[in-house]
Chain A
């Protein structure tokens, strides 16, 4: 369905060449949900934008459903884009248009009649479960509802492919789940091929069939999701999977079961190397019980997470929290 051949993209930064994607090749099957995961700056956003040429690739070819996208002229490209739906991290809804008008926009552009638009938009509203939000403006919708509008809009022209650019990154975990459910329903019922880029391993785990791991503009690993979790080959893949396991630990900690104040501390960069918790214990009249903790080695920095229980007087605990905050530690009271 989608064939990416030796795709590269170079940005000029002053006099330097910055290769955002380097020689990427992969094949995505019809009806597949294909994930591309990587940390920010890995080039995944550029890669997905090269597929419908929102970014012009510097080298290589993209062949979608037998059409060489990279060789199309402007007019043909516009026609082809109508068959490629796209959804975005920040939804990209028109704020001055209602839900209905937003979904109708792609149909208006192709000159569909009022009647056609009406019946298509109504069907889409029903499909994404927003019939009651028909005449509401985006500012009155929740993040999940906004993404549903954007999905309905992306489906308006009956595309064969849906590109998802971090579609769930701005959403909370529960909403993310409902959007992912909608996307897999779209694949199952409408037979769309979905290519999604994300930095959330949960997304890959929940709905992708196969996944490519991207790092510094290159694909370092392509495998089925199952294989990835069983035998991650690249370092990046292992880091992603580890990040998932620490999240699971956190769910087991129920603040109500503890007497003291449960804090989640996050810190990165140089603070990771400093004995900040030890300093805190010496300075304030409190006890610290470490419940969970890890330090993940990310690309350029280290990030630490600790879940601790503090016991002591309220004043001392507050002072300790202020002390942590003053030392650039993110403190979240659970």
Chain B
């Protein structure tokens, strides 16, 4: 059992780690742009906002499995293949990026408008308002958002397992479902549950530790 479980767990962690990283790299700037380009915000660009908003909505409405299949050519372009753990990171990152953008957007929007006004009153530039005021003030909420993203990606990665991504989801389906090894399925699900619990717990702890409210 363990010799099945450990490699699968490592694959899951590998997929989730890198797809979290890349989806943050893609989604974080989008989230910031959404917040600052909105009408009435600090860098008002209504057309850019509408385009970005539209793209994110379209990407988010795709069922993940379909998006993943559609992105096979991209995976081939970037990592040279469409199947396997590394290849799966590409669609996972792209699928999660618009989600990240929304999470970042809503965190940054929670920041009190008063401190943004303060930023203007002390002559802060737009980048200064973003990096010296908005992001530090939103930090606890951003950490909760990243936690949410990681947990979502664990779920997505389990699904990705079904079409050749590897990891714990793959293990549960191949051994548990197709070979009727219920014990393998149960154990993989338990490991996923523990993983999610652990990450949520850590995220909560971290957010409340740095929150000074």
Contacts and interface: CB of A to CB of B under 8 A. Distances in A.
Majority SS at the chain B contact face: helix
A318 B118 CA distance: 47
A88 interface: yes
A78 interface: yes
Nearest to A77: B123
Nearest to B139: A96
Interface stretch (A32-40, A58-66, A102-110): A102-110
Size category of the binding interface on chain A = 20 to 34
Nearest to A107: B122
Interface stretch (A79-87, A215-223, A265-273, A320-328): A79-87
B197 interface: no
A299 interface: no
Contacts of A90: 114
B120 A94 contact: no
Residue among A80, A109, A157 with the highest chain B CB neighbour number at 10 A: A109
Contact of B117 (A54, A84, A105): A54
Given A81-B123, A82-B122, A108-B132, A92 B114 contact: yes
Nearest to A84: B121
Interface string B92-113: 0000000000000000000010
Interface in B179-213: 210-213
Contacts, number: 63
Contacts of B211: 96
Nearest to A52: B121
A177 interface: no
B61 interface: no
A94 B133 contact: yes
B113 to A, nearest CB: 9
A134 interface: no
Contacts of A19: none
A81 B120 contact: yes
Contact of B212 (A86, A96, A105): A96
Contact of B118 (A82, A92, A137): A92
A84 B118 CA distance: 12
A197 B143 CA distance: 39
Nearest to B138: A96
B121 A139 contact: no
A92 B212 contact: no
Given A95-B137, A96-B137, A96-B139, A81 B122 contact: yes
B172 to A, nearest CB: 41
A264 interface: no
What 3 A-B pairs have minimum CB-CB distances, sorted nearest first?
A92-B114, A137-B212, A81-B123
Given A96-B212, A106-B123, A109-B122, 9 more contacts: A77-B123, A81-B121, A82-B122, A86-B121, A91-B114, A92-B115, A96-B139, A105-B122, A139-B213
Interface of A: 52, 54, 77-82, 84, 86, 88, 90-97, 105-106, 108-109, 137-139, 153, 157
Interface of B: 112, 114-115, 117-118, 120-125, 128, 132-133, 136-137, 139-140, 210-213
25 contacts: A52-B121, A54-B117, A80-B123, A81-B120, A81-B121, A81-B122, A86-B121, A86-B122, A88-B117, A90-B114, A92-B115, A93-B115, A95-B137, A95-B212, A96-B137, A96-B139, A96-B211, A105-B122, A106-B123, A109-B124, A109-B132, A137-B212, A139-B212, A153-B122, A157-B122
